[in-house]
Structure 1
Amino acid sequence: MVDNYASMPISLRARLLAEWGFSAYLHEPRILFDTGLSGYALINNARALGIDPDEPEYLVLSHRHLDHTGGVIKFLGVRSRPLKIVAHENLFARAISADEKGTIDVGVNFTNEDLRRRNVELILIRDPYSLPGGVVVSGEIPRKWGPSHAGGVGDAVPDDMALYIDTPRGLVILTGCGHSGPENIVEYGLQLTGAESIRAIIGGLHFMGLDEDRMGEAADYLASKKPELVVGTHCTGIVGQAVIWERMRNSFALGGVGASFEI
């Protein structure tokens, strides 16, 4: 729905828009995961792909950063139905990032009252939370199996959450930015669901800003799990995607706006 890249032919055919940020949609059950940065790309792409903004039953926010939450208010503005939003309990905590020009406020651009006025039922969690269709929102992911990928921001992003979907072919993991680190996200998912294998991992893995050794270590770990499908989007970065492709050529697939995968 939203990604940094327009890398698929459908981007041209459907006039899809790319922007810095991420959003994905599960068609069954109807769960929107993140909203991108502006809302413009999300709404344009949803309509171009034939997804009515009223269709999602839930919106899950992977974490509080603006490139994942910035489209919330605009998305709510084109809906006519109430919506349930699931987010970490520190959704409204200040968040900062930094670049060569200084610090940037990258927290959410709305308040609890803004959501209430727009018929939102806000569900704030810290522990795992079950949604229809066997989907589990991870809640806080322990950082005990490997390092986190929180570089460039002002805190360790404890609110970073993933979606876990246990399928007959193995566990499907959907990430927003992957700040928790791939080892932690995967191992916690296996522990939480009791799944025995990984079917797919799709989403941001935050390889941007990592040195070559760490990117290789993380990619080698993912390869050791023998996933059928790996799609590194958004903050995985072009170099990060190349490192993953190098180690998992049979599992690697491009993301980008309009990409669709059967899980």
Structure 2
Amino acid sequence: MRVTILVDNYLTDVKSIRHRLRGEWGFAAYLHDLKILYDTGLSGDVLLHNMRELGIDPDEPDVLVLSHRHSDHTGGVLAFLKARRRPITVYAHRLIFERAAVRDSKGEVDISAPFDLPFLQRHGARLVAVEEPREILPGVYVSGEIPRRWGPSHVGGVSDLVRDDMALYISSGGLVALTGCGHSGVENIVEYGLQVTGAKRLRGVVGGLHFMGLQGDRVAEAARYLASKGPELVVGTHCTGVMGVAKLAEALGPAARVGGVGVEIDI
């Protein structure tokens, strides 16, 4: 299975020079074999530019999965749908239209999804609102709401517990989990994924783990947990943060890989 990171905070691959790729705060990834776009980044401009430069037509994806409602994952929906000529199925949590906010040093910032249901309908998107796990393709599941029973949540400075945080689970010789921000907490994401898919082992994790803003001992604990599962690959992107990626490398050795715009992952 081939995954390309289309939006990330960082540019880490020299192909970004050849293709003039762009980065921004946010995340999006494309699963080529499944034709699933997972998240859309913040602006839409970056998503479409990088798709075009990497030879991915906006009409190619059959499915869009939104990990949660925050605008750094949903902000590209408007531009993406406007660029398409054919309908698409969108899977999102039932709370996708609820207001969301984050607090920085200057106060509160609205980070709600910048669209509503009528917009989706006008632009050929069929919204499937989920709360429980749902198999969307053979062996491919949208998690629905992830229970927080195996470890702590990673919610940082946001205004709520982000109950709408959803992972994408693929059962392929084990569990592969894609996560947008990982607000549910990595232990919860992985353990629930093993339960939902029936997989016996963790093969890989790709996406944001929201280690930014956490205490160092918590980051080390999460990294040790991942190492204990013996994955083939862990790619921390977006809100994992530079120090978080370093902790993953320390705990996981060669199984840890740096993400970044344009990086291709085969798993």
* Shorter-chain TM band: over 0.9
Which of 155, 180, 190 is 2:160 aligned to?
Answer: 155
User: Alpha carbons of 1:261 and 1:133: their partners in 2 closer, same or farther (altered >3 Å)?
Assistant: farther
Which of 116, 123, 137 is 1:118 aligned to?
Answer: 123
Q: What residue in structure 2 maps to residue 5 of structure 1?
A: 10
How is 1:31-180 mapped onto 2 (pairs within 5 angstroms)?
31-168=36-173, 170-180=174-184
TM-score by length of 1: 0.99
Check conservation: 1:29, 1:133, Cα contact below 8 A: no
- CA distance in structure 2 between the aligned counterparts of 1:195 and 1:133, rounded to whole angstroms: 14
Check conservation: 1:28, 1:133, Cα contact below 8 A: no
How is 1:180-199 mapped onto 2 (pairs within 5 angstroms)?
180-199=184-203
Structure 1 gap ranges (5+): none
Q: What residue in structure 1 maps to residue 232 of structure 2?
A: 228
- CA distance in structure 2 between the aligned counterparts of 1:134 and 1:30, rounded to whole angstroms: 14
- CA distance in structure 2 between the aligned counterparts of 1:39 and 1:194, rounded to whole angstroms: 35
RMSD: 0.7
Partner secondary structure for residue 266 of structure 2: coil
Deviation at 1:109, TM superposition (A): 0.7
- CA distance in structure 2 between the aligned counterparts of 1:250 and 1:238, rounded to whole angstroms: 17
Partner secondary structure for residue 249 of structure 1: helix
- CA distance in structure 2 between the aligned counterparts of 1:74 and 1:206, rounded to whole angstroms: 26
CA deviation map 1:97-155 (0-9, x unaligned): 00010001100111111111111101001011111242100000000000000111000
- CA distance in structure 2 between the aligned counterparts of 1:95 and 1:127, rounded to whole angstroms: 21
Letter in 2 for 1:190: L
Q: Percent identity at matched positions?
A: 59
Matched, 1:248 2:252: yes
Partner secondary structure for residue 248 of structure 1: helix
Q: What residue in structure 1 maps to residue 3 of structure 2?
A: none
- CA distance in structure 2 between the aligned counterparts of 1:92 and 1:188, rounded to whole angstroms: 25
Deviation at 1:50, TM superposition (A): 0.7
Check conservation: 2:139, 2:197, Cα contact below 8 A: no
Check conservation: 2:91, 2:128, Cα contact below 8 A: yes
Deviation at 1:259, TM superposition (A): 0.6
- Misfit runs of 4+, over 4 Å: none
Letter in 2 for 1:197: R
Structure 2 gap ranges (5+): 1-5
- CA distance in structure 1 between the aligned counterparts of 2:121 and 2:149, rounded to whole angstroms: 36
Letter in 1 for 2:223: A
TM-score by length of 2: 0.97
Matched length: 262
- CA distance in structure 1 between the aligned counterparts of 2:171 and 2:179, rounded to whole angstroms: 15
- CA distance in structure 1 between the aligned counterparts of 2:225 and 2:40, rounded to whole angstroms: 29
